[in-house]
Amino acid sequence: MNITEIKSELTGDSYYKINHPSGLVIYVYPKEGYKSAYAIFGTKYGSINTCFSVDGGSKITVPDGIAHYLEHKLFESEEGDAFVRYAETGANANAYTSFEKTCYLFSCTEKFDKSLEILLDFVQHPYFTPQTVAKEQGIIGQEIKMYDDAPDWRVMFNMLEGMYKNHPVKIDIAGTVESIAQITAEKLYEVYNVFYNLNNMALCVSGNVTVEQVLKTADKMLNPCKKTEIKNYFQDEPYEVNTPFVEQTFPVSMPIFNLGFKEKAEKQLDEKALACTDILLSMLASNTSTLYRSLMDSNLINSSFSYELFEGPGYCSVIFGGESRAPRQAAEMIKQYISKVKSEGLDKDDFEIAKKAVYGDAVSSLNSVSSISNAIIDYHFNGNELFEYIDAVSKASFEDVSNRLSEMLDVCNCTLSVVKQAGKED
């Protein structure tokens, strides 16, 4: 077993990376003086992984939404529901499926060892029958319809459908009512056996824990897994957006918009590129930026305005969004401002302010056990590392961020998605 201490010279914090004999990578981030602990157990398997092969074999295609379906079903066993078991330890448990991963988690202030044992147990022991799978179709079907009625959800997926022609990131994480009807117990076992291999997974624990404590439970609960080679397949995705504008009517009091800039996605961003992008977006659109103030002064946005880098295997975009009385005008002002900055260059004072803000946010996140574990597992699956990202922020130069701007935010390659009331004019 290989245990490596990963230390930050900047913050003085450290955590441990353990290559467990089972094949699982385990991270432990002890926080002295903390009363709570947080654990997250994830697999590099999300909604976009619907076409794959194992060990060079033939391609396997599975229905959209199966990763999310599997997440729901994994909490069940012949002995009962995992949530009932957690109730006995007092832990607060949850799970989620994203585009590129599925994670199971809990937080607690006592009985950590038992809660970790429950987590490692139920995730490793699937139990699917035709009857239980059929029962879940109605439940998830209702969930899909609920999201179809959520304007924030629709405005985002309408934008993704507008940006992406082929990549499955444009498909709802839960799939469709039609696609989940194709899911069977056999198909669930098939994807489980491929993607829930411990070599494709990671466990991250932070807070009131020790390495010895985590390893004691891991040694008890984990059995060695044979490593396999998983290859995911995606259709070629053109650089250009599919369509520049999408609109849907909804009973909303205020129109909602998402403006997505489609970026090149040959490979996922490393720590330096991520750091420079975060600083750049803070410069452009944080609530201290010139753009933000202009949009607010023009009454085109409110405090719901946000921005994010949206990135994963084979997809990358920058999204601005929020409520707006005039979404087209807001989007046009954003594009004009980006064009102006690209032409005239960034402001060095804005750079210094944004760099300090991004660095401060990164360091302050180390005070939250959930933020720590979630960040580490995200970076692990992307091939990055938490402290290297913080170092990259601290070392980022004005020239680095200016170069990043030159590589992204093509105002001729974006999609505006709007949700508004019927009959309302922009």
| Beta strand ranges found along 124-221 (DSSP E) | 201-207
The 10s digit of each residue's pLDDT in 386-407 is 999 999 999 999 999 999 999 9
Given a cut of 70, whether residue 424 has pLDDT beyond it is no
As a residue count, the chain comes to 426
pLDDT band of 295, cuts 50, 70, 90 = very high
Q: What is the pLDDT of residue 79?
A: 74
- CA–CA distances in Å: residue 22 to residues 220, 257, 296: 11, 46, 54
Q: What is the pLDDT of residue 425?
A: 63
pLDDT band of 277, cuts 50, 70, 90 = very high
Given a cut of 90, whether residue 248 has pLDDT beyond it is yes
Q: What is the pLDDT of residue 405?
A: 97
Share of the chain above pLDDT 70, in %: 99
Tell how strand 245-249 and strand 414-420 pair up. Answer: parallel
Given a cut of 70, whether residue 106 has pLDDT beyond it is yes
Round to whole Å and give the CA distance between 415 and 327: 12
Q: What is the pLDDT of residue 138?
A: 87
- CA–CA distances in Å: residue 151 to residues 156, 419, 421, 423: 9, 7, 11, 17
Q: Where are the alpha helices (DSSP H) in 230-347?
A: 271-285, 290-297, 327-344
Report the pLDDT averaged over residues 234-253: 95
Other Cβ atoms within 10 Å of 56 Cβ, number: 7
For 404, phi and psi rounded to 5 degrees?
-65, -40
At residue 228, the 3 state secondary structure works out as coil
Q: What is the pLDDT of residue 78?
A: 79
Task: List, in order of start, the domains of the chain with CATH numbers.
Answer: 2-232 (3.30.830.10), 245-420 (3.30.830.10)
Given a cut of 80, whether residue 426 has pLDDT beyond it is no
pLDDT band of 68, cuts 50, 70, 90 = very high
Give first-to-last CA distance, the chain, whole Å.
61
Round to whole Å and give the CA distance between 380 and 369: 17
- Predicted TM-score (pTM) of the model is 0.95
Helix, strand, coil in percent for the chain, rounding step 5: 45, 20, 35
Given a cut of 80, whether residue 108 has pLDDT beyond it is yes
Does residue 367 come out as left (phi exceeding 0), alpha (psi in the -120 to 50 range) or beta?
Answer: alpha
Given a cut of 70, whether residue 303 has pLDDT beyond it is yes
At residue 175, the 3 state secondary structure works out as coil
Q: What is the pLDDT of residue 249?
A: 94
pLDDT band of 422, cuts 50, 70, 90 = confident
Q: What is the pLDDT of residue 300?
A: 97
- CA–CA distances in Å: residue 20 to residues 43, 112, 224: 15, 20, 9
Round to whole Å and give the CA distance between 160 and 235: 16
Q: Which residues are catalytic?
A: 71
Tell how strand 306-312 and strand 315-323 pair up. Answer: antiparallel
Q: Given the structure tokens 């970790």, which residue do they identify? A: 116
Given a cut of 90, whether residue 136 has pLDDT beyond it is no
Report the pLDDT averaged over residues 124-136: 91
For 155, phi and psi rounded to 5 degrees?
-65, -35
Report the pLDDT averaged over residues 229-249: 96
Task: Share the mean pLDDT of the chain.
Answer: 96
pLDDT band of 77, cuts 50, 70, 90 = confident
Q: What is the pLDDT of residue 137?
A: 87
More confident position, 423 or 283: 283
The 10s digit of each residue's pLDDT in 340-390 is 999 999 999 999 999 999 999 999 999 999 999 999 999 999 999 999 999
The 10s digit of each residue's pLDDT in 176-214 is 999 999 999 999 999 999 999 999 999 999 999 999 999
Minimum mean pLDDT range among 92-101, 142-151, 288-297, 386-395: 142-151
Nearest to 318 by CA among 352, 269, 365: 269
Dihedral angle sign, alpha carbons of residues 337, 341, 347, 350: positive
